[in-house]
């Protein structure tokens, strides 16, 4: 096109000073997007990384504990030996073999053919939600739950039947039974059995046994999110639901919290009959799980590093947990309750009535540069019943900063309560 012609077309379109056309289009969005809430966790990711902020906000692993040297060696070996690690490829059988071994450490017996590789637990739950949910279907979940789960199911605009969470024993299984026995038949029950996000609780053994029994009796699948199950700190951890009775449990696992989140590798353990459908849904989303990441993780596991690395993580996170609990005991006013998690990376604090933790967060960021997540962010029903609660993360903050951060937060809490 002659430049003069191009110039006259351009001049008909208004543009900013760098010549980029202004006035973007506003396409009509799908109906389900109307209920989208801004993700407070994404916003927090920006705020919490501001220099000088002590962040107890997000569930991030400790970056200084990433096994960077061993992963770097694994990555170099992979690329040095086979450039096709950068190619589209089917899921890596050797990685599935390693996952079978890892799962046996977790008390779950499974076969390679039942493992479906994903780009993290988040994608695992999204894919399952797409397979299991018709628009408007019902699901059972706890009143307070991981926000990523809410985002994963949102496109189907499901009706979420909520049940409470006991801070010592986990999901209220009586409430689940009441729903099922009164005739509700949800597409699935969502359970974070260990290291609950956000409540920090692990489900008691008798509830685990009862929940899988209910799933079997009423033929309702459980979507078990085990993102934190390998991070256990006290006595021998309990098996996940899938380890108690595999028949109605669709298990979601991930390397995010035990290796590094940006590898974006997770897995599902599901009936073989679901594999073809899962592959099709995943293909429509991201074609395949990054080959290079899969190969790097497999080479790392082949080197036998994982058990030692898990011991390091558990020891250091247990130290940080202890540091945070003793700082809470020492500096928070009496009468305030918090969970003592036996696994995972979160402590749930209930400040009692009269304190709104969303307001407290604004003051905490401005005055003391302390970040946490207010309880309301996790409410499924947005009824403010957790407005006086907050979630603290202890994995991402060096032990040396934890006491000082909790002391500063306690100062604000005392002022707020006064």
Ligand X SMILES: Cc1ncc(COP(=O)(O)O)c(C=O)c1O
Interface region with ligand X, contact rule CB under 6 A, candidates 23-31, 119-127, 209-217, 358-366 = 119-127
- Enumerate residues 6+ apart whose C-beta is below 8 A from 95: 117, 265, 294, 295, 297, 298, 301
CB-nearer residue toward ligand X: 148 or 243? 148
The verdict on 296 binding ligand X (CB under 6 A) reads: no
CB-nearer residue toward ligand X: 144 or 402? 144
Kindly state the smallest distance separating residue 348's Cβ from ligand X, in Å. 13
The verdict on 254 binding ligand X (CB under 6 A) reads: yes
Residues 172/203, Cβ–Cβ less than 8 Å: no
Q: Retrieve residue 177's tokens.
A: 């039974």
The verdict on 193 binding ligand X (CB under 6 A) reads: no
Kindly state the smallest distance separating residue 358's Cβ from ligand X, in Å. 20
Touching ligand X, residues 130-189 (CB under 6 A): 146, 148
CB burial of residue 183 (10 Å; 0-12, 13-18, 19+):
exposed
# residues near ligand X by CB under 6 A:
14
HSE-CB at 141 with a 13 A cutoff on CA atoms is: 29
- Enumerate residues 6+ apart whose C-beta is below 8 A from 264: 119, 120, 256, 289, 290, 293
Kindly state the smallest distance separating residue 314's Cβ from ligand X, in Å. 18
Residues pairing with 115 in the sheet = 269
Angstrom distance (rounded) from CA 180 to CA 175: 9
Kindly state the smallest distance separating residue 124's Cβ from ligand X, in Å. 7
Q: Retrieve residue 35's tokens.
A: 């209920």
Kindly state the smallest distance separating residue 82's Cβ from ligand X, in Å. 26
DSSP 256: T
Candidate residues 40, 54, 56, 59; the one interacting with ligand X per rule CB under 6 A: 59
The verdict on 197 binding ligand X (CB under 6 A) reads: yes
Residues 192/303, Cβ–Cβ less than 8 Å: no
CB-nearer residue toward ligand X: 158 or 218? 158
Kindly state the smallest distance separating residue 265's Cβ from ligand X, in Å. 8
DSSP 343: B
The verdict on 261 binding ligand X (CB under 6 A) reads: yes
Binding site for ligand X (CB under 6 A): 59, 120-122, 146, 148, 192, 197, 225, 227, 254, 256, 261, 266
């Amino acid at each position: 096109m002659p430049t003069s012609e191009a110039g006259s077309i351009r001049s008909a379109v208004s543009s900013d000073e760098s010549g980029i056309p202004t006035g973007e289009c506003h396409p009509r969005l799908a109906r389900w997007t109307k209920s989208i809430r801004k993700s407070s966790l994404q916003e927090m990711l920006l705020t919490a990384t501001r220099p000088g902020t002590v962040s107890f906000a997000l569930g991030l692993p400790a970056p200084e504990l990433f096994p960077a040297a061993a992963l770097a060696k694994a990555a170099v070996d992979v690329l040095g030996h086979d450039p096709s690690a950068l190619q589209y490829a089917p899921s890596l059988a050797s990685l599935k073999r390693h996952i079978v071994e890892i799962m046996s450490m977790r008390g779950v017996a499974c076969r390679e053919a039942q493992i479906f590789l994903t780009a993290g637990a988040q994608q695992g739950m999204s894919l399952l939600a797409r397979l299991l949910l018709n628009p408007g279907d019902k699901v059972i979940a706890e009143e307070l739950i991981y926000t990523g789960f809410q985002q994963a199911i949102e496109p189907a605009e499901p009706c979420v039947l909520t049940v409470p969470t006991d801070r010592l024993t986990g999901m209220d299984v009586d409430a689940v039974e009441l729903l099922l026995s009164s005739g509700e038949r949800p597409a699935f029950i969502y359970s974070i059995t260990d290291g609950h996000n956000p409540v920090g609780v692990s489900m008691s053994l008798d509830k685990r046994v009862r929940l899988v029994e209910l799933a079997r009796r009423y033929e309702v699948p459980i979507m078990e999110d085990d993102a934190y199950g390998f991070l256990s700190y006290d006595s021998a951890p309990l098996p996940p639901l899938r380890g108690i009775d595999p028949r109605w449990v669709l298990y979601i696992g991930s390397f995010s919290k035990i290796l590094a989140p940006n590898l974006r590798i997770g897995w599902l353990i599901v009936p073989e009959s679901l594999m073809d459908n899962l592959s099709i849904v995943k293909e429509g989303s991201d074609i395949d799980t990054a080959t290079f990441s899969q190969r790097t993780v497999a080479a790392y596991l082949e080197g036998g590093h994982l058990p030692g690395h898990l011991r390091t993580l558990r020891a250091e996170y247990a130290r940080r947990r202890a540091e945070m609990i003793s700082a809470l005991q020492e500096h928070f006013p009496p009468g305030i309750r918090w969970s003592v998690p036996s696994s995972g990376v979160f402590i749930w604090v209930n400040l009692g009535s009269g304190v709104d933790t969303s307001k407290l967060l604004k003051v905490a960021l401005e005055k003391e540069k302390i970040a946490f997540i207010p309880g309301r962010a996790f409410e499924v029903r947005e009824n403010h019943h957790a407005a006086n609660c907050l979630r603290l993360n202890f994995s991402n903050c060096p032990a040396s900063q934890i006491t000082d951060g909790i002391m500063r937060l306690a100062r604000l809490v005392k002022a707020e309560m006064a």
